[in-house]
Every structure is written in structure tokens, then in C-alpha cells.
Amino acid sequence: MSWLTLTVNADAHDAEALSEALLELGALSVDVHDALADTREERPIFGEPGEPPPPLWEHNRLTALFESGAPVEALLQQAATTAGLPQIPQHQIATLEDNDWVRITQAQFDPIRISQRLWIVPTWHTPSDPSAINIVLDPGMAFGTGSHPTTQLCLRWLDANLQGGESVLDYGCGSGILAIAALKLGAARAIGVDVDPQAVQASKDNALANQVEAEFHLPDSAPPIQTDIVIANILTNPLKMLAPLLAGSARQGGQIVLSGILREQSEDVAAIYGQWFDLRPPIVEDGWVCLSGVKR
């Protein structure tokens, strides 16, 4: 079986209108991404909970997928009219042949080396270093495959700072990767909390696959405890809102680790958490910041 793909370049306003029109006209899917991706002009866009959705890029590339035999040219003309475009935009139509999409997807995810002794390994790969600490984790519905800089910053912090026997709270656990890593690195207890039930279930499944006994909860069912380490890899606005809760979850003399923070946001976050913690200089990677400190 094959499909037809339609590729169109458009500005932010036209891209949104065209996407909606194409979907109404029967497109199976429409993907919108930065037309300048992988160039020096590429511009990342990040959204924060509690804020309006960010606008699209100035230059966008739409890729719409249609069933084989669909009158794509005519549908684009109709979509352009619906979107208020004065003329049909420049475009390309191509045939997409059927493939083993599972194999192709898996080929995009290789083992990730986090540190000298810590790796993230998808289930379809053999560990590159069997003697290392290998976390078995597949890309899934929950955030945290080990590929994002914020996750790697937290994993490296755990690798460098866990002494063994600590209790760890992973707030916003996603895939459970940080709680799982903490246990594999010597923590005595790890508790993960997430507002998404699918993330909680994914974390439980991943802990089982890694043969560790981590605990995962929705916020309302999480045990009210103080831990030696509180780690939260989420986003700036939630970190600000959750500051009293996260600070209260760390014991006196315990440590906090915060990530998911853009470089330009780090001073605001540090000012809030500085009420309770003596913070160390931030660690920066690819524009993302990891803050850590000790509770007074």
C-alpha cells in the first residue's frame, strides 16, 4: 500500500489555516515544522503551562498525507480558497511507499551514553557495554527517553552525586527514567509522581523491565514524605508554582535538582528556590539549565 504526500511552504498565518482546511478535506494527517530546521536560522519554540500557545514559526513546512488516488492538486486548490490565499501555493506531491515503519522508527533510536558507566538502551539493542549500568527504556507515550538535554543533565547529576542509600522523589516522572536510574545508582527508595495516568503506568512498566522496585503515584495518592533528594525535570512555570511543595518534600540538609529550565529563565527560578536552598552555580547544556542546591 502507498500514500500521497503534499509538501507546502507557508508563513505562520497561512500554515495554520491551510492545515485546518486540508484536514477538513480528508488529509489523514498534517505535520507542521520549521522550514529552516537544521540551519543557522532554526528557531526553537517552547510552550509553558498557564501561558497562551506559542505562535508557529515565521517560515513553516506543511506535510499532508493522503490516501493513494486522492485528487491532491484539487484538494490543495480548495484548501487555499478556504484559507483565503490569493492563489495556490508552490507545492510538491510525492508517493510514499509502504515500509516496515516499526523497523524504520527503531533505527532512529540507538543506545545513549550518559556517562562513563551509565547508558540508556532500547529493548531492541544489545548493550554496548554489558558491564555498565544499563537502563532499558523504549521511546513511548511519556517524556524521558534520555535523549533530551534536560534528562541527561539530571541523569549526570544523579550519577555524580548519589552516594548510596538515599531516598529520592522524582516529581513529574514521565517515563520514570530518573527514579529508575536513582535505584540502579544505589538509592534505597525512589518515588515518582506525575499528573498523567499514562505516565504513571509507563513508569511502572519501565521499572518492571529494569527489575527495580520504584513507586509511582498520581499527586493525590503520593505519600506525604520528605526525601534526601527531590528532582523535578519539568518546565519553568510548573517549577515556580510547585516551589513550596517541592521545597517541603526535601528534608533539612537534603538536595533539590531542577531542570526543564531555559537559560534565560534560570534567574527567576533560582530566586524563588533560593528562599529554602543554597543553590550551586547552574549547569548549562544546549541552552537548558540544571539547578541544584542544599536545603537550609
Give the CA angle between residues 193, 196, 200 to the nearest 5°: 55
Q: What is the pLDDT of residue 10?
A: 85
Q: Is-contact 147 154, C-beta < 8 A?
A: no
Q: Beta 227-233 vs 250-262: how paired, if at all?
A: parallel
User: Taking residues 207-223, what's their average pLDDT?
Assistant: 94
Q: What is the pLDDT of residue 35?
A: 75
- Is the pLDDT at 290 greater than 70? The verdict is yes
Express each pLDDT in 116-131 by its tens digit.
999 988 877 676 778 8
Q: How far apart are CA 210 and CA 223, in angstroms?
A: 23
User: Taking residues 17-44, what's their average pLDDT?
Assistant: 83
Higher pLDDT, 142 or 278: 278
Average pLDDT, the chain: 87
- Is the pLDDT at 25 greater than 70? The verdict is yes
User: Taking residues 172-181, what's their average pLDDT?
Assistant: 94
User: Taking residues 252-277, what's their average pLDDT?
Assistant: 96
Higher pLDDT, 231 or 139: 231
User: Taking residues 237-254, what's their average pLDDT?
Assistant: 96
Higher pLDDT, 155 or 88: 155
Q: What is the pLDDT of residue 37?
A: 73
Higher pLDDT, 274 or 52: 274
Q: What's the helix, strand, coil split of the chain in %, to 5? A: 30, 30, 40
Block residue for cell numbers 508552490: 90
pTM over 0.75, yes/no: no
Can you say whether the dihedral through the CA atoms of 143, 144, 145, 149 is positive or negative? positive
Q: How far apart are CA 255 and CA 240, in angstroms?
A: 17
- Is the pLDDT at 147 greater than 90? The verdict is no
Task: Locate the DSSP E strands across the chain.
Answer: 2-10, 29-34, 60-67, 91-97, 112-113, 118-121, 133-136, 167-171, 189-193, 215-217, 227-233, 250-262, 277-279, 283-285, 288-295
Q: What is the pLDDT of residue 137?
A: 86
Q: How far apart are CA 40 and CA 44, in angstroms?
A: 11
- Is the pLDDT at 101 greater than 60? The verdict is no
Q: What is the pLDDT of residue 215?
A: 96
Express each pLDDT in 50-92 by its tens digit.
566 666 777 888 999 999 889 999 999 999 999 998 888 888 9
- Lowest mean pLDDT of 37-41, 160-164, 219-223, name the range: 37-41
User: Taking residues 209-229, what's their average pLDDT?
Assistant: 94
Domains and CATH numbers, the chain: 2-98 (3.30.70.120), 109-295 (3.40.50.150)
- What are 266's three cell numbers? 534560570
Q: What is the pLDDT of residue 70?
A: 92
